[in-house]
Every structure is written in C-alpha cells, then in structure tokens.
Amino acid sequence: MTAPTESAAGSTAEGAEPQHPLHVTNELFRVAFRHHPAGVAIVTAADPEPVGITASSVASVSADPPALSFSVSGGHSAGRVAAADTVVVHLMDAAHIDTVKAYATPGTERFADGTWEPAATGEPVLKDAPWALRCRVIERVPVGSSILVAAEVLEILRGEHSEPMVYHNRAFHRLTETSLIQSRDEV
Amino acid sequence: MTAPTESAAGSTAEGAEPQHPLHVTNELFRVAFRHHPAGVAIVTAADPEPVGITASSVASVSADPPALSFSVSGGHSAGRVAAADTVVVHLMDAAHIDTVKAYATPGTERFADGTWEPAATGEPVLKDAPWALRCRVIERVPVGSSILVAAEVLEILRGEHSEPMVYHNRAFHRLTETSLIQSRDEV
C-alpha cells in the first residue's frame, strides 16, 4: 500500500510498500474511533432494578422491521444491559449532557427520583429523553469481551427536543446552523 | 407510560396511560434516527471489481481484538460489500464531503482514477481518507432486508485529517471549537 500509513510501532516511510500488514494495536484503533463522531444514547433495562449505560454506538440497521444496533463492553451495568430481553434506547441531545455523563461514569447515581418511570412493561424510561425506543433484543454477537446487540423497536416515545449533541475526541459538541456545511437531498 | 408520547397514528393525550404498546411505523423510526447524529464512513471491497458505499452506521465494538460494526441495506453495491470476506472502512471528514456524497448516490462514478489504489490484498483503498481500516468480516446478522456486519480490524492506514464531519437530518455539519459544549475526562 502506498497511501500514507502509520503502524503502532512507528511510521512507514511514505511510498514504501509494506510486505506484511501493519500491526494494529488496541491503542491505534482507539485513536481512530476517538476521531469518529457519534450521537449519544442511554440504554436502560430492568434487571429487575433499573440499570443503564451511555452508548455512542447506537445505529439504525433496518427500517422494516425497525431495528437498531449497539454494543456494550465491560462493567457491571453493561453486562446487565446486554443480558436483558428488552431495553429502552434513549437518543439524547445537548440539554442532557449531565445525564449522559452520569450514565457514562461508574459509581454515579443514575436513576434519580423524578427523572424516570417504569414503562408498563417494566423497563425504565427517562422522562426527559427526546426519543425513547423500547426494543426487543433479537441477536447478541460476542466480539472479544464486548457484545454487539441487534434489537427490534417495539414502541417509540417522543419528548422535548433541544440541539443535537455529538461525542468526539472525549468532548461534546452541539450541531447548529453555524456548524452546517451543506444540506443534502437524500440519505 | 406517562412520558410525552407519539404514535404514528396520532398523539396520545399527555398523562394518558396507553394499554397497549404504541404502533411503530417505519416512518417514525426513520424520523428518530434522522435526528441521531453520526460520523460518516465509506466501506469498500473487491468483488473483484472495486465496490463501495457510504455508511453512517460504523461504530467501534471492541478494542481487544479491535473490531467494528456497520450495517448495509438495499442496493447492488451494498449487497456486494456485505458479501465480501474483507472490507476497508474509511472514516471520513469534512474535506471529503463530495466523495461521501458520490458513494451515497446510486449511479455516480465512485472509483475515479487517482483517488484509490488496491491494497496488497486487493481491496480498494481511498488514498485521501483520514483513516482506512482493513477488516475481516467475522459475523453477518440478517435483520429484515438489512445485514449487520461485525468485522475485526487487521490493518490501519492513517492519512491527512481535516475537520470532523457529522451527518444529521440529511445535512452535513463540521465540528470545531465553536461547536464545542464542554470536554470530558473519559469515555
């Protein structure tokens, strides 16, 4: 390959033709994804006690049936979310940065009084979330110590919206007219 | 549920307690994810001819081993990418908005001369991509007419970087100091 390259062990001279695949380290992989922007979600479940985690891996998979994916790794709460038959995926925005940080930080109080209520089916629903999607897990794919989850959306609740929020390089950004590059006609 | 709710068929009166799950339509699901920001990637493969698509579903799954996920749906190119044993996932930024749009639009020329070259292993590598991650597909999960793909990263190439780019509500945004809300200590 003659594209600009970098291995974890050091740089390959530009124009050189590596005879073997570059070494990939966990750290270089983390750097790459640290620079890949993502929306932010909170995924909750009933265990039966409320449990929840912040996830930056939520993505739409299919519109028919409506289905999404996310992945979880490490941590007590993550394991409990991954094991649940049903979850609620909350798509969060800039008004909820403190909530998102709380659910991302081990040991912090997550289900404060008045911020959530159980769905009729038992899962905790964050009352202020712009979107809450109650889902049935349809597939769990173990990948290393992580689990990739596919889930079908059963129910959608819509709340108040503020500015969209993005996570990038360990910081949060908001999307506004000022950040707009150009619009596009279709997905 | 007493959180603000909306079904596709109409609104549920606030404070009402629905006896049955709200109906979820494909359209309401699309609206929800249209408002969930995402980074933008181009996924290529050798079929053996070069094939590639724009994807806003790329997410990190595991750092050990380094693995990611993405999903593809519909379309000739998407099917060929989903069937490949190995792919190259290019994480794109604001300098490459035109390339990203070309790979998202059916019928446009995608592999223009001089913009790519084959890896030693055959897959097309976009030479200007900030990051190119050559991956081996380890799992394909059919979900409706879509396929959720998990892939292990074999090799990472790093190129020139510009401003991070985000796709949201059918438009592209750039992340800058101006869009920053606040930084955060840890993921």
Find the CB nearest B26 among A41, A63, A70: A63
Restricting to B residues 38-77, those with a Cβ less than 8 Å away from any Cβ of A are: 38-39, 41, 56-71, 73
Q: Which value does ipTM take for this structure?
A: 0.86
Average pLDDT over residues B36-53: 97
Task: Assign domain A38-168 to its CATH architecture.
Answer: Roll (2.30)
CB A104 within 8 A of CB A113: no
Q: CB-based contacts of A31: which residues, under 8 Å, 6+ apart?
A: none
Q: In chain A, which residues have their Cβ closer than 8 Å to the Cβ of B65?
A: 143-144
- Report residue B183's pLDDT band, with 50, 70 and 90 as the boundaries: low
Residues of A in contact with B138 (CB under 8 A): 143
What is the maximum alpha-carbon separation in chain B? 62
Residue with tokens 């899962």: A123
pLDDT band for position B80 (cuts 50, 70, 90): very high
Q: In 10 A of CB A36, how many CB atoms? A: 26
Q: Please tell me the predicted confidence (pLDDT) of residue A25.
A: 82
Confirm or reject contact between B5 and chain A (CB < 8 A). yes
Q: Which of A53, A166, A186 to mutate to test the interface with B (most CBs of B within 10 A)?
A: A166
The Cα–Cα gap between B138 and B133 comes to 15
pLDDT of residue A106: 86
Question: In this predicted structure, what is the pLDDT of residue A91?
Answer: 98
Q: What is the pLDDT at residue B1?
A: 35
Mean pLDDT of all residues belonging to chain B: 87
Quote the pLDDT of residue B47: 92
Kindly determine whether residue B24 and residue A132, on different chains, have CB atoms separated by under 8 Å.
no
With an 8 Å Cβ cutoff, are B101 and A184 in contact? yes
Fold for the domain defined by B36-174: Pnp Oxidase; Chain A (2.30.110)
Instruction: Please give chain A's pLDDT, 187 residues, in tens.
Output: 333 343 333 334 444 444 344 567 888 999 999 999 999 999 999 999 999 999 999 999 999 899 999 999 988 899 999 999 999 999 999 999 999 999 999 888 899 989 999 999 999 999 999 999 999 999 999 999 899 999 999 999 999 999 999 999 999 999 999 999 975 444 4
Please compute the mean of the pLDDT values over residues B116-141 and round it to a whole number: 96
Interfacial B residues in 137-176 facing A (CB < 8 Å): 138-139, 141, 143-146, 148, 150, 152-161, 164-166, 168-176
- Please tell me which of the candidates B19, B155, B180 has its beta carbon nearest to residue A173: B180
Contact A28 B59 (CB under 8 A): no
Q: How confident is the model over B164-172, as a mean pLDDT?
A: 96
For residue A64, give the nearest of B26, B70, B127 by CB distance.
B26
Average pLDDT over residues B67-95: 95
Q: Specify the pLDDT at position A22.
A: 55
pLDDT at B2: 36
Check residue A75 and give its pLDDT: 83
- Residue ranges per structural domain of chain B: 36-174
Q: How far apart are CA A158 and CA A61, in angstroms?
A: 20
Report percent pLDDT > 70 for chain B: 84
Q: Judge contact between A140 and A165, C-beta under 8 A.
A: no
Banded model confidence at residue B22, pLDDT cuts 50, 70, 90? low
The verdict on a CB contact (< 8 Å) between A6 and B130 is: no
